Amino acid sequence: MTKLLGISGSLRKASFNTGLLDAAKAVTPEGVELETATLHGIPLYDGDVEAESGVPATVEALKRRVAAADGVILFTPEYNNSIPGVFKNAIDWMSRPPADIRTVFRGRPFALAGASSGSFGTILSQNAWLSVMRTLGADLWSGKRLMVPKAGTLFDGEGRLTDDATRERLRGFVLAFAEYVAIAKQRESQSSPG
């Protein structure tokens, strides 16, 4: 069983990206489990808070879920041609303390997907994630990208994906990433001592 975790980078109830994540869960192929996560409850990063009381419990819980996953898909909105602040904030928290980067990010397969109301479907946000993922040592999958433009015409008022062509693209994206993750998992098990 390949275990994936999808994280929505939006807090909005009817978010296109949360809707895309929910649709991905519905089209996940047999032999693959896709769990979902949100950023609700993660406070703004504050080094004084970290020094005084450590990493917040909500962040630790998300870190554990990422570390337990074979691969992670970031469902990223695009705000002002870049990464949403709440999403970057969550990743910054998850990189604390720096010693945890190895178990949370290093070598773990990550993929990028996103939906936006604009014409470019989060391409600039996804590009902005590249340097972040490289810095953390993540295995950023480059086999496919999923960018969903003009999302306002593809999702209903509750944030549910209504477009069959997009659903099929999403199915192919999740399947291809799951196959990549399964190969990476097999390689890792073969190289592990034991």
Cβ atoms of residues 70 and 111 within 8 Å: no
**CATH at 62:** 3.40.50.360
**What pLDDT digit, counting tens, does each position of 73-100 carry?**
999 999 999 999 999 999 999 999 999 9
What's the whole-number mean pLDDT along residues 189-194?
Answer: 71
- In sequence order, the 6+-apart residues with CB closer than 8 A to the CB of 130 are 140
Q: What is the mean pLDDT of residues 134-140?
A: 97
Domain range enclosing 82? 2-191
Cβ neighbours for 45, distance < 8 A, ≥ 6 positions apart: 89, 92, 93, 96
CA distances, 167 to each of 116, 133, 147, 158 (Å) = 15, 26, 12, 16
Counting the structural domains of the chain, the total is 1
The 3-state DSSP class for residue 114 equals strand
